[in-house]
Amino acid sequence: MAWRKLPLSAADWPALERNPAPWAGLLSSLPDEMDYRCEIEGRLPDLNGSLYRIGPGLYDRGPDRKRMMLDGDGMVQVLDLADGTARFRNRFVRTAKYVAEEKAGRFIYPTFSTHGSGPLRHNLGINIVNQANTTVIEWAGRIFAFDEGQRPHELDRQLETLGERSLDAEQQKLRYWAHWKLDAARQRLHLLSMVAGPKPAAHVVSLDLSGKIAERQVIPLPRSVYIHDWFVTGGHFAFLLHPAFISLPRILKIAAGRETFAHAIQWRPEKGSLLTVAPRGEGEARNLEVDPCWMWHTINAFDEGPDIVLDFIGGEMGGGLGDETSPLFEIMQGKEPALPPEPINLPRRLRVRPGRGPVEETILAKDANFELPCVSATERGLPYGQAYMIQAGAGAVFAHNLCELDAHSLTSRSYDFGPNAFCSEPVICDALDGENGRYLITQIYDDLSKRSHFAVMDRRDFMAGPVARIHLRHHVPLSFHGYWSPGP
């Protein structure tokens, strides 16, 4: 059945110590679960708390290997910092899929880009199996791991999996998008559920600091497309509906086990993008036309007088989905992907001026490819000072640089970790109800040592580089997103 997107052969991916690709450690599985004290180089600041990170820690199982770098079983890491010491732990989220495939010894269920190698019946239907591999958060004393369009899995303090959770007793059928949003002004956590079909809508569920439901809102959408992230300001919810469509024929192919979601997404730039802006609470949503632009991640958003400012990382291409020859797929086979010579993922700003003409777009930085941005938790949904993001040169897949972007002057500066070091999403060490954090942490994979470490940066002296490096005894695969939870 050549039309099935079966797993690649794990035997074709060389072991890390023999793999010539400089970024091989980011795409090599880490099947072992560990708990140990870390070696610290430099001066570790007085930080007390836990850095959570999550990503696809298992790309290979038995003879099978995932087809795309965004696909794989979720592994949660925790770096506990206290009294000048650092402790590392990692555990796989025991989803129903993980438990069944651990017993089977191979990937038997379909996921975002890869059909299961088990019976065909496992691949039928339009539901993606939950891998819990994209975002992680501790909220109201509970730890949750999210996947796209799924219920989150709750974990205990030892990272043992407690099971799936609905989070809203009145709407238990809702499946949440991976990107929750923090709201500094109202001290809330917002969750998004997207409903497709003839009447597409965004369901927003908001939790207060105690974990109770503070507000619910349903926002009609003008089109049903795949999006990954969204915007929250003090007074608005907003959705950039870029032209990433899944047609009815493709949905039928998915249901018949002949297609995966990652292959079925079609980038249709001639359709343009639509921006839906909805006031929080009462009031009708507005649908505004904007130029076609793919968005993986937002930077931040805020209200500025009557204007609504939406900052994000955007590209002119469809993110590599729907195309088996794109870098997201080719790199899993050890191929050096051919990338455009000019940067395509750039920090952008959309300014909505109600009643005063079309949406204005500004490019905030032009010199490299940017991704995985973060701002202080104290500034989420509010005017902010600086954003931090990884930065890769044109033609590069993975980033060597960490960039600081000033949101006021729209100037940027970058710290280069070196040609053999690849950095991940930075996380600022602060919380919604605290002070603006001085330090941030990014995880680095170093090709020379074939190991990973955490780099601690002082935002007040950003260009001086890490004030401390927290070394691990092994590599860590690609980690998507993180969350800082302050200690008591």
CATH number at residue 366: 2.120.10
pLDDT by position in tens, the chain (length 488) = 457 899 999 999 999 999 999 999 999 999 999 999 999 999 999 999 999 999 999 999 999 999 999 999 999 999 999 999 999 999 999 999 999 999 999 999 999 999 999 888 888 888 789 999 999 999 999 999 999 999 999 999 999 999 999 999 899 999 999 999 999 999 999 999 999 888 999 999 999 999 999 999 999 999 999 999 999 999 999 999 999 998 888 889 989 888 899 999 999 999 999 999 999 998 899 999 999 999 999 999 999 999 999 999 999 776 678 888 888 999 999 888 877 777 889 999 999 998 778 999 999 998 889 999 999 999 999 999 999 999 998 778 899 999 999 999 999 999 999 999 999 999 999 998 888 899 999 999 999 999 999 999 999 999 999 999 999 999 999 999 999 999 98
Reduced to 3 states (helix: H, G, I; strand: E, B; else coil), residue 86 is strand
- CA–CA dist 238, 274 (Å, integer): 10
Phi-psi category of residue 42: left, alpha or beta, with phi > 0 → left and psi -120 to 50 → alpha: left
Residue 77 belongs to a domain = no
Residue 114 belongs to a domain = no
Residue 474 belongs to a domain = yes
- CA–CA dist 293, 261 (Å, integer): 20
Give the range of the structural domain holding residue 333, as residue numbers without chain letter. Answer: 134-486
Residue 124 belongs to a domain = no
277, with CB counted inside 10 A (0-12, 13-18, 19+), is buried
Distance of CA 338 to the CA centre of its chain: 23
The pTM of this model reads: 0.96
Reduced to 3 states (helix: H, G, I; strand: E, B; else coil), residue 478 is coil
Residue 257 belongs to a domain = yes
Structure tokens at 117: 């190698």
- CA–CA dist 27, 69 (Å, integer): 7
| Element spanning 34, H or E | none
- CA–CA dist 286, 271 (Å, integer): 18
Residue 36 belongs to a domain = no
Structure tokens at 357: 């003409």
What pLDDT sits at residue 421?
97
From first CA to last CA, the distance across the chain in angstroms is 56
Is the alpha carbon torsion for 432, 434, 436, 438 positive or negative? negative
Phi-psi category of residue 197: left, alpha or beta, with phi > 0 → left and psi -120 to 50 → alpha: left
What pLDDT sits at residue 303?
97
Counts for the chain of helices (H) and strands (E), in that order: 4, 36
How many domains does the chain contain in total?
A: 1
CB atoms within 10 A of CB 37: 10
Structure tokens at 484: 């800082």
What pLDDT sits at residue 1?
47
Residue 173 belongs to a domain = yes
Residue 118 belongs to a domain = no
Q: Which of 250, 252, 112 is nearest to 178 (CA)?
A: 112
What pLDDT sits at residue 2?
59
**CA triple 105-109-115, angle to 5 deg:** 110
- CA–CA dist 215, 228 (Å, integer): 22
